[in-house]
Amino acid sequence: MKTIKGPAVFLAQFIDDKEPFTSLDGLCQWASKLGYKGIQIPTWESRLINLDLAAESQTYCDELKGQISSHGLEITELSTHLQGQLVAVHPAYDSMFDNFAPDPYKNNPKERTAWAIEQVKNAAVASQRLGLKVHATFSGALLWHTMHPWPQRPAGLVAMGFEELAKRWLPILNHFDAHGVDICYEIHPGEDLHDGVTFERFLEATGHHKRVNILYDPSHFVLQQLDYIEYIDHYHEFIKAFHVKDSEFNPTGKKGAFGGYSDWIDRAGRYRSPGDGQVDFKTIFSKLTQYGCDVWAVMEWECCIKSPEQGAREGATFIKNHIIEATQKAFDDFAGADIDKKQLKKILGL
């Protein structure tokens, strides 16, 4: 068994135009005072990291690590969620996802995809330079618009979709393999990798590439009414990153899983701050510890009711109180004895 590391916090939702959230130093000082031990860095945020420079310069990476460690923190993972999303975008979503790309690549899906792929590859090099072994991202989606299809999906469509998705990701996966870094796809609605079946489809399409792994976030499974505890039993060997985010699903006679196009606060399924929703984190931390999952517990704030500041304050304590110090001995060791084959045979009546 292995003790989960933490608490850590994903900085994507906290960068802001007011102090102390305007800079890496300000966020590190804030996070450290709250009791966090690690930070997950969104690489699209230039106020936190220069990803292109990190891929080029060991000196820059050493200085970045030193800057962060001066606050008593470690980098847990780099994140390319936005760039990873742009690796595979169905044309129906082009205009909305253009917001994730720099101006020169907007209104040009081909160039935008090429830029996104290069960005994710740069994250592999940067991760290696920073001494990181895992990376967090999204898979993107070519099939999501057919998730609940009408008219029905033509035969062969899903197989072709995953074949194309794998074709786009395989050069990236090979690049990560060359740099000794695992890709952890956040299994998330809106992505083609959104549950266990789709993860397995992608894994098979990539030839079971050894760098294909999972960022486990149970909040997304509550909204899908998927057994997020049993999910760990099935996929624990692939779980190498972990978001601590809560959610709840409260269907009514008027709305359910699809939410009626409502805002988050009015949906049946909505994200909450850790401890405020329906996720059984006690069992999750036990399962992940039992299986020896080598992960950081990273708090992600996405609550439609509670402020990010309060969510972050409470999140550090919440994670700390859930981390289990994995035992290195059995509780009944005191009653044991040295192995004696004669004694064993006697017990068995042999």
Partners of 75 in beta bridges: 39
| Triad 75, 215, 47: Cα angle to 5° | 40
Amino acid at 177: D
Is the predicted pLDDT of residue 209 greater than 90, yes or no? yes
Retrieve residue 46's tokens: 């230039």
pLDDT exceeds cutoff 80 at 330: no
Tell me what the pLDDT averaged over the chain comes to.
96
Is the bond leading into 7 cis (omega within 30 degrees of zero)?
yes
Query: Per the structure block, which two tokens stand in for 37?
Result: 């031990």
Question: Model confidence over 9-64: pLDDT tens digits?
Answer: 999 999 999 999 999 999 999 999 999 999 999 999 999 999 999 999 999 999 99
Report all structural domains of the chain as residue ranges with CATH numbers, in order of start.
5-347 (3.20.20.150)
pLDDT score of 119 more than 90: yes
pLDDT tens, position by position, 183-208 = 999 999 999 999 999 999 999 999 99
- Helix (DSSP H) and strand (DSSP E) numbers for the chain: 13, 10
Please check whether residue 137 is in contact with residue 79, taking contact to mean a CB–CB distance below 8 angstroms.
yes
- What the block records as the tokens of 197 is 């079946």
Mean pLDDT within 77-99: 97
**φ and ψ at residue 272, rounded to 5 degrees:** -135, 165
User: Of the candidates 305, 299, 309, which has an alpha carbon nearest to the alpha carbon of residue 276?
Assistant: 305
262-287 mean pLDDT: 97
- Check: CB of residue 1 under 8 Å from CB of residue 324: no
Token couple for 281: 């984190």
Segment 282-294 shows an average pLDDT of: 98
Asked if residues 91 and 98 have their Cβ atoms less than 8 Å apart, the reply is no
Mean pLDDT (whole number) for 145-164: 96
What's the pLDDT at 216? 98
- Which pLDDT score, from 0 to 100, does residue 192 have? 98
**Judging by DSSP bridges, how do beta strands 134-137 and 296-299 pair with one another?**
unpaired
Q: Could you report the per-residue pLDDT of 216-244, keeping only the tens digit for each?
A: 999 999 999 999 999 999 999 999 999 99
Taking residues 296-306, what's their average pLDDT?
A: 97
Is residue 109 within 8 Å of residue 94, measured between CB atoms? yes
- Overall average pLDDT of the 311-319 stretch: 98
How far, CA to CA in Å, does 164 sit from each of 68, 202, 335?
Answer: 39, 10, 58
pLDDT band at 334 (very low <50, low <70, confident <90, very high): low
Q: Which two tokens stand for residue 207?
A: 């030839």
Is a pLDDT exceeding 80 seen at residue 92?
yes
Of residues 197, 138, 125, the one with CA closest to residue 165: 138
In terms of Cα–Cα distance, which of 105, 77, 131 is closest to 297? 77
Percent of the chain with pLDDT over 90: 94
Report the C-alpha gap between 239 and 291 in whole angstroms.
10
Calculated CA dihedral for residues 201, 236, 180, 125, nearest 10 degrees: 80
For position 335, what pLDDT does the model report?
60
